[in-house]
Amino acid sequence: MLSLMNNKSSKTTHNELSYSIDRNSIKAIAVDMIIGAIDTSNAAIEWVMSEILTHPRVARKLQQELMSVIGGERMVAETDLVKLEYLEMVIKETLRIHPVAPLLIPHESMEDIVIDGYFIPKNSRILVNSWAMGRDPSIWFDNVREFLPERFINGHVDIRGRDFQLIPFGSGRRGCPGMHLGLTNIQLVVAQLMHCFDWELPNEMKPNELDMSEKFGLSLPRAKHLLAIPTYRL
């Protein structure tokens, strides 16, 4: 962006218009990126907590890990996240079932291509359905609809775009620019919520009674916001 701002020329060497950008545009782009990160991170955190509340076994196992690694005398720090292996599994499994960007960022074909027998002409708009990929039984087997963090127990599936079966942040140059910050934010918030509090659903609601409907759009938040009751545990 700084190089574009400093570009005073209106034409390139090929007599084509070049792009320039001013300071106000840079500020607007930065604000858009921050707001976008807040929206998607909030949706992801809400889905993680929803799945934890509907699976008490997962909640107990996660809290056991937190007490084992952190103890009860201090808060979770960012440096602790690399030690919280089960937390990472829980977040991976949540983003598999509930990707916050179900169609990722739009792509465009640069030339005529054929993918799996389908002809895609040049300049076609291409959307990657990460929601369907996360629920494909040919990848995740017959228990594809079951929330099972242990499916990632061997840790070989990378969530940052190296393994195409799980790409909630996209991959390559069109991947999410705030991926690392967003993932750290999700991990840290969920870890602190589960470390500091016990949680229960209101009005004696049973875990299987919680509405898990999605609100489809550019992002994929819950149709209804999660309501849960915390009890301080440290």
Residue type, 209: E
Q: Could you list the beta-strand ranges (E) of the chain.
A: 107-108, 113-115, 118-120, 125-126, 197-200, 229-232
Rounded to whole angstroms, the Cα distance separating 186 from 164 reads: 21
Rounded to whole angstroms, the Cα distance separating 170 from 159 reads: 9
Count Cα atoms within 13 angstroms, Cβ side, for 120: 16
Residue 176 annotated as lining a ligand binding site:
yes
Rounded to whole angstroms, the Cα distance separating 53 from 194 reads: 10
- Joined together, the tokens standing for residue 28 give 């607007």
Rounded to whole angstroms, the Cα distance separating 62 from 26 reads: 41
**Binding residue numbers:** 176
**Binding residue numbers for heme:** 176
